[in-house]
Each structure stands twice: as structure tokens, then as C-alpha cells.
Structure 1
Amino acid sequence: MKAFLGMGLLGSNFVRAMLHQGETIQVWNRTSSKAKALEPYGAKAFDNVAEAVHGADIIHITLKDDATVDEVLEKASAGLQAGATIIDHTTTSAKGAIQRTAYWKSKGFIYLHAPVFMGPQNALESTGFMLVSGDQSVIGKLEPELSKMTGKLINFGPEEGKAAGIKLIGNSFLISLTAGLADALSLAKAHHIEPQELLTLFNSWNPGAMVPGRLKRITDARYNEPSWELNMARKDAGLMMSAAKEADADLTVIPAVASLMDKWITQGHGTDDWTIIAKDSL
């Protein structure tokens, strides 16, 4: 029998998928109505978190942050059965994941941090990506359980906390991507271009496909083989900022990147590939 703590959009759909697979699930949420909403699907909801984990050999959690995870697990501890396994899908700090792994091990329990790149629909459909790292014998035993929940389980090796760090890195890229789209929409507005026309562009031209190659160029430091010279990229950034200023449109990302470009141009790298702006990040 399993327990699941945290019935947000992700957690509730994980539970629905588990129930569809014939699992017996006890659920808890701070707002009890969200847990009780899973009862028509076959879950058993509890108001008390210690009662929710009672009798469960595996406890999944999807909560807000490190502090919430620590608080909820401490309250649940009175109901944990000996040797129970805690699988935490919360996006947390790497430091927190490392500390919790050691702490719960000292108490006689298994704690594994397994963050995900999955939306609610992915959780319901058991698609998407789940990340793990740490004790490989633990991961090996839990792999069948975890693989049922996601399209792909990615194991980053024995280092505790690495999965947490990689999840944050991935989220940083998603945040940057959305900020870049905000700039693109502002620039489109400045040029009287409708958002639908941007969709037409990106439905045909997928810049995301360039990410692996772009990252390899940066990590290989192939800046002297330009596909787009820094001087030319900076010229285009200038055109973007001028158009936005004339239309009284806001740009967030481009001005900051332009300043970074200026730094490298001043250092004599104007004819290098523009990806040199990432050199100091290595």
C-alpha cells in the first residue's frame, strides 16, 4: 500500500494514474478538500498526515519547498512504518535533498529525491521525465516503481543531490526561455506583428533543436569558428532595442545580454562566435 502527500495538480494526477493501475493509495493534503476530491477515484483521504502514511511501505510526496517537505515529514513520522521508503518529487535545493537523505537514513528509512519535468497531464498519462541520483542499490530497487510513473527515468549516478541541482538548472532554462518569449512578443508588438505570426514562425523553425549543438560549441570552446560573429549579434541586439524604444515597448532579456556582449567585444572578441558570452560560466 502507498501513501501520497500533496494533492496539487501534479500530485493529484499522479494518484489518479496509480489508482487506474490498481494501486491502493492513502492521500493527504494541507487543504483537506483537495485530498477528499480523490476519493471518488478510489483513494482514501486523511485529515491527519501521520494517519495517511500508516501502513504504507512507499510514501510519495509533491510539496512546495524544502521547509514544507521537512515540516510535513516530521509530522508524518509518527505514522511511518519501520523501513518505509520516502520518494520526494518536490523541486528543492540540492543541499536539502542531501540532508534529508542522511537524516531519514539515520532514522531507519529510505529517502530518495526524484524531481520531475512533468506537467499535470504528464502525471496523469505517465509521460515526461523523472530524475534520480544517489545510492544506486536503492535506485535499482525503486526503478520499476518510478518507471511506471513517467515516460523516462534519468539516472545521474551516485552523487546525492545531483538530481536536485539538474532540476533547478532545467528550470532556470525554462524561466529564461519564457523571459525570452516575453521579449519576442514585445518586439513583435513594436513591429505590429501579431502573436499568431510568431506561432507560424516557430511551428516551422524550431530554435529549441539548436540547444544541444549550441551547448556543445560552448563546452568545446569553439569560439574561433563563428557561425554568427559577436559583432553581428550585437548589431542585431541594437536594432531590437532601438525598435522597442521607438515603440515604448519593454525588453527585459536583450538589454542585459547586450551589455554582456559589449564586455566581450571590448576585450577583443568581436569576430569570435557570439557564444563566447557564456565562457565565464564554465
Structure 2
Amino acid sequence: MIAVLGTGLLGSGFTRALLRQGNAVHVWNRTAARAQLLEADGARAFASAADAARSATRIHVVLSDDAAVDAVLAAAAPVAGQLVVDHSTTSTAGVIERTDRWRAAGITYLHAPVFMGPQNANDSTGLMLVSGDRATVAAVSPLLAPMTGKLVDLGKRVDAAAAFKLLGNLFLMALTAGCADMLALAKAMGVPAADAATLFDHFNPGVTIGARVKRMLDSAYEQPSWELAMARKDARLMQHEADHAGIALALLPAIATRMDAVIAAGYGGHDWTVIAKDFVR
């Protein structure tokens, strides 16, 4: 029997997928109605995390943050021999502390965060990350592989999966904020949002990510494809358009501040990826 603690959007998707794969699943959620809805799919809902987890061979935790994970696991009171798989996005320090604490109690705790939406969890697609003790990862991976489209093992560092989840989410935030700033700038210049979006029918900046990161890692700044000073000039033009229209941009001012600092250090003639120079040494 498998227990799922936390049946929000992702937890509900995981539960339905596990049920379709023929597993018996016990569920619990702080808002009991969310867990009870899954009884129509064949799950058994419980009023307490401890009752849901009792006698489970493995416990999947899908919660909001470190505090929630710690509180729910304390309430669930897993016993020696049980496996806890935590899919929550949490801090690296929290993962290290929980791994050590539960190991001392005879319980295997493995952090396995995901890059998934609710439909991915339901369809067993998307990406799941694991890391840590080699024997634990080897033993648990066959149990997790059916829950995801791709299971990525990031090595023996216990908190690597947590770190990479935060890295990925930061990139998604920056990407989304960049899109929002682009639409804000379009509004400032009188370009309808739908028209602005057609830019990506012809222009795919995603294909340049690998090359940009490689240039940063190689510190290959001295033969620029776009000089930092020229990029800063363009940022100034963008900010002027937004200011003239009275529209605030969220991301561009922070980028401009970083550009100014690096230009002041003497790198205006270098490739604009030099803004990463302090972080790759």
C-alpha cells in the first residue's frame, strides 16, 4: 500500500496515476475534502496523516515548503523500515537535515522534486529529480520511474535534487518575468500584446541558451557577439519607452544595474554575457 500525504494538484495527479497502475493508495490532506474527492477514483481517504501512513510500504509527500513537510511527517509518525519520498520544493538545508534525522530513526527519506504540472503528474510524464546515497537511489529508482517521463539522478550529493529544482524554478521565473516585461514594453510603445507575441513566430531565443551558458562557463568574453555597452544602450532605450508611457518594468532595472556595475569595472567592450563573470570562478 502507498500513502500520499498532500493531495493538491500534483498530489491528486500522482494518486490517480498510482491507482491506474494497480496500487492501493491511502490519502490525506489538510483540507479533507480534497482527499475525499479521490475516493471516487479508488483511493481511501483518512482524517489523519498517521492513519493514512500506517502500514504503508512507502509514503509520498507533496507539500508546500519545509515547515509543512516537517509538520506533516511528524504527525504521520513513520516507523522504521518505511520509505518516505518527498516531492516538495524545499531548501537544501532542510533536505540534508531530514535525511539525517529520519535515517537515525531507521527510515529512508529521499527527496525527489519534480518539474511537472498537474497533468504531468496524472499522466506520469514530466521530469523527476533524485540524488543522495547511491544504494538508496538505486533501490528507489525503479519505484519512481513509472511516476515520471524521465527520472534524473544527480549523483551522491544529498541536496543536489533540491538545488537543481531551485535553479530550474529561478530560470522559469526569470523567463516569465522577461515575457511580462516584453508585453509591458509593447504596451508602452502601442503594440498590441497579441501582435507582440507574434515575434516568437520568427524569433526563437531558446536555441541560444546553450551557447550563452557555454560562453559564460568558458569566460569567452573578449570576442563579443554583442558588446555589453551596446546591450546597455538598448536597455536604456527600452527604459525610456516605458518611462515615457508611465509603465513600470520589473526585470529590466535589475539587469541594467548589473550591467552598469560590470561596465564600471571596465568590461563595456566585452560580450554582454560578462555580467556572469563573478559567478563562474
Question: TM range, normalised to the smaller chain?
Answer: over 0.9
Q: Is the 8 A contact 2:79 2:106 kept in 1?
A: no
* Superposed displacement of residue 81, structure 1: 4.5
Equivalent AA in structure 2 for residue 44 of structure 1: R
Equivalent AA in structure 1 for residue 80 of structure 2: A
Whole-angstrom CA distance in 2 between matches of 1:261 and 1:276: 9
What residue is the counterpart of 1:40 in the other structure? 40
What residue is the counterpart of 2:70 in the other structure? 70
Measured against aligned partners, the alpha-carbon deviations of 1:16-39 in whole angstroms (never above 9, x if no partner) come to: 111111111000001110000000
Whole-angstrom CA distance in 2 between matches of 1:56 and 1:191: 59
What residue is the counterpart of 1:160 in the other structure? 158
Whole-angstrom CA distance in 1 between matches of 2:39 and 2:196: 43
Q: Secondary structure at the match of 1:86?
A: strand
> Which runs of 5 or more residues in structure 1 are unaligned?
none
Whole-angstrom CA distance in 2 between matches of 1:40 and 1:209: 44
* Superposed displacement of residue 256, structure 1: 1.7
Alignment equivalent of 1:129, drawn from 123, 127, 130: 127
What residue is the counterpart of 2:217 in the other structure? 219
Alignment equivalent of 2:179, drawn from 178, 181, 188: 181
Alignment equivalent of 2:203, drawn from 197, 202, 205: 205
Indicate the larger mover: 134-143 or 258-267. Answer: 258-267
Whole-angstrom CA distance in 2 between matches of 1:167 and 1:140: 20
What residue is the counterpart of 1:15 in the other structure? 15
Sequence identity percentage: 52
What residue is the counterpart of 1:190 in the other structure? 188
For these two proteins, the number of residue pairs brought into alignment is: 280
> Which runs of 5 or more residues in structure 2 are unaligned?
none
TM-score under structure 1 normalisation? 0.97
Indicate the larger mover: 206-215 or 137-146. Answer: 206-215
What residue is the counterpart of 1:30 in the other structure? 30
* Superposed displacement of residue 163, structure 1: 0.8
Q: Is the 8 A contact 1:56 1:81 kept in 2?
A: no
What residue is the counterpart of 1:83 in the other structure? 81
TM-score under structure 2 normalisation? 0.97
* Superposed displacement of residue 210, structure 1: 1.7
What residue is the counterpart of 1:251 in the other structure? 249
